[in-house]
Amino acid sequence: MIAQWENIAFDKSAKPAVPMRVYEGAAKGKVPPLVLYLRGGAFLNEQRGENERPVAKALAEAGAVVLEADYSSVSHNMFPQAMECAFAALQCLAGRRKQFGSAKSQLFVAGDEAGGNVAAGVALKARDLMPGELNGQILLSPMIDPMMATRSFRKADDIGMGERWAEGWSHYLGSHCGFQHPYAAPCLCSRLSGVAPALIVTSEDDPLRDETVGYATRLSEAGVSVKQKIFPASCGWTGIYREGDGEWMTALCAEFTSFVRELS
């Protein structure tokens, strides 16, 4: 699988072109699901890098056409620019389904860690501005609680992420008190009903586990269809924070395939 970056201009407005790269696997069918993928990086990594992302590869191996949008370098990882950039990418894909897959392709947004936050915000905005067009959201240990006060988060320093996540939140929200905006901190959103069905994944040993599970619970209580999976600690899930792969990739393929099938 070889994915190369290219600039894609979303429209004729003044918005800059956003670098994107496409992942396609051998399992791609005639009507593949389209996934807008937003990478992690704790809201600190602006360099897109050339290494292929394990999450994007896993979803592509499950049959999806995955388009990774480099929202970070364009937005400098600031709210609301990062979320607006990602939402523009989603609108672009919604209007170009046939170009990348099929006119009947289902449309998803996915993200891990910081990208999971942005993906959740994009799903909320899609509910508000393009209802019915987003078929699902895939949130992989989303970094969505700026309070960083859950029990599982206490173990963040054990994997060297506590200080990094705190710095990332400070950078992303800046001086605008962005945490009060539901698109910036989805876990604080008071109205979750009507958002796209969600596949939510974390692991037993993930410091972001509790906020991930808490968001899944709130979505479910709001009437949103939620498919939740907590991987065992042995699968190496927390390696995603270092762009590592592991046994979780096969499991994620299976969960995504099942999720898409249930929505068909």
CATH code assigned at 71 = 3.40.50.1820
| pLDDT per position as a tens digit, 76-130 | 999 999 999 999 999 989 999 999 999 999 999 999 999 999 999 999 999 999 9
Contacts of 7 (CB under 8 A, 6+ apart): 17, 18, 19, 20
Q: Would you place residue 8 in the very low, low, confident or very high pLDDT band (cuts 50, 70, 90)?
A: low
Is the pLDDT at 17 greater than 90? The verdict is no
The pLDDT confidence band at residue 14, using thresholds 50, 70 and 90, is very low
pTM over 0.85: yes
Q: What is the pLDDT of residue 53?
A: 87
Domain count of the fold of the chain? 1
Per-residue pLDDT at 183: 93
- Determine the Cα–Cα distance for residues 143 and 85; give it in Å rounded to an integer: 18
Provide the pLDDT confidence category of residue 20 given band limits of 50, 70 and 90. confident
Could you give the CA distance from residue 234 to residue 221 in angstroms, rounded to a whole number?
A: 30
Q: Phi and psi for 100 in degrees, rounded to 5? A: -100, -20
- What is the spatial distance between Cα 78 and Cα 26, in angstroms, rounded to a whole number? 36
DSSP character string of 57-96: HHHHHTT-EEEEE-HHHHHTT-TTHHHHHHHHHHHHHHHT
Q: Please provide the distance, in angstroms rounded to a whole number, between the alpha carbons at the two ends of the chain.
A: 26
Rounded Cα–Cα distance for residues 113 and 105 (Å): 26
Long-range (24+ apart) CB contacts under 8 A made by 13-19 are 15/85, 15/88, 16/74, 18/69, 18/70, 18/71, 18/74, 18/85, 18/88, 18/89, 19/48, 19/69, 19/70, 19/73, 19/74
Instruction: Give the mean pLDDT of 55-68.
Output: 94
pLDDT in tens, 217-260: 999 999 999 999 999 999 999 998 887 788 899 999 999 999 99
Question: Which amino acid would we find at residue 85?
Answer: C
Residue 183 structural domain: 5-263
What does the pLDDT read at residue 176?
59
pLDDT tens, residue by residue, 139-197: 999 999 999 999 999 999 999 999 999 999 999 998 655 567 889 999 989 999 999 99
Task: Specify whether the CB–CB gap between 199 and 136 falls below 8 A.
Answer: yes
Q: Rounded CA gap, 231 and 57, in Å?
A: 18
Among candidates 212, 246, 242, which has minimal Cα distance to 230?
212
**What pLDDT sits at residue 179?**
63
Q: Where are the beta strands (DSSP E) in the chain?
A: 5-8, 18-24, 34-38, 65-69, 107-112, 136-140, 198-203, 226-231
Give me the pLDDT at residue 133, please: 96
